Amino acid sequence: MTAPPAEALRNLLRVSRIHVMPCCYDALSARLVEEAGFALTFMSGFGVAASRLGLPDTGLISYAEMLDQGRNICAAISIPVIGDADTGYGNALNVKRTIRGYAAAGFACAMIEDQVAPKRCGHTAGKQVVERSEALTRVRAALDARDAGADLLVLARTDARATLGLEEALWRAQAFEDLGADIVFVEAPVNEAEMERVCAATRVPQMANMVEGGATPVLAPKRLEALGYRIAAYPLTLLSASARAMLDALAALWRGEPAACLLDFARLRNLVGFDDYDAEQARYAAEKKA
């Protein structure tokens, strides 16, 4: 019997090594992550805003849109999914509703952050964080919902490094752990020395955010493990790779040339489930004849 999502993630995190986590943005990208053999994935808010709305990750996407996307992602795969829940979409009661909704959708974990709403991508300019009291209230509300029966983990994120400095970010990370957060995430440390201090600040698992071209050095998984990280997230790798491939294909078509680097049609049919569908349809047809 397959373990519930939250239990599966807890079991995974008990293994004391780095877990590489490519991030998805829709059901197909999630299926690709699972098929490639990865043990977990993360629904990227940047990726969902871009793919669903064609808009930047600046707080424009709503709770309902994120929940709907997450429900499809969780239904498409069997590995644990961490969901980007942004700021919780309102006050403490909104945060609790968000956590309950994400648990019901099938997420293993939800990430709550301390940015001022509307939030924005953690590796872009212009973000701000709320006061300590508000940050702690958000995390406490998420944990209250978890403890009241919402079966999922809580990942507490702080973006304080960029605006208030590393010491404030470390204080918040430790405070989130003290409240009972399952995973802690200090966004955008700028060098390895800071990353090592981040990992030393808490006993619960820490997540590193490997944004290509972002503020944090993109390190090899083994180096991240040596620093003390338990999860290595790659939030934009699949989105960027797919956008690049589509741009190249469109440029070829514009030139009147066939697009290169395409999946074989048979492989594409299999990927989206035609083979499984046809096999099951044939089974029911045989039973009907019998």
Q: Cβ distance 107 to 5 under 8 Å? A: yes
* Gyration radius of the chain over CA positions: 20
Count of Cβ atoms closer than 10 Å to residue 5 Cβ: 24
Beta-carbon-side half-sphere exposure of residue 208 (alpha carbons within 13 Å):
33
In this prediction the pTM is 0.94
Tokens of 20: 């590489």
Q: Give the residue from 72, 92, 93, 73 showing the smallest Cα distance to 81.
A: 73
- The Cα-based distances of 32 to 43, 81, 213, 244 in angstroms read 13, 13, 23, 17
pLDDT tens string, the chain, 290 residues long: the values are: 578 999 999 999 999 899 999 999 999 999 999 999 999 999 999 999 999 999 999 999 999 999 999 999 999 999 999 999 999 999 999 999 999 999 999 999 999 999 998 888 878 778 899 999 999 999 999 999 999 999 999 999 999 999 999 999 999 999 999 999 999 999 999 999 999 999 999 999 999 999 999 999 999 999 999 999 999 999 999 999 999 999 999 999 999 999 998 999 999 999 999 999 999 999 998 887 77
Distinct helix (H) and strand (E) counts, the chain: 13, 8
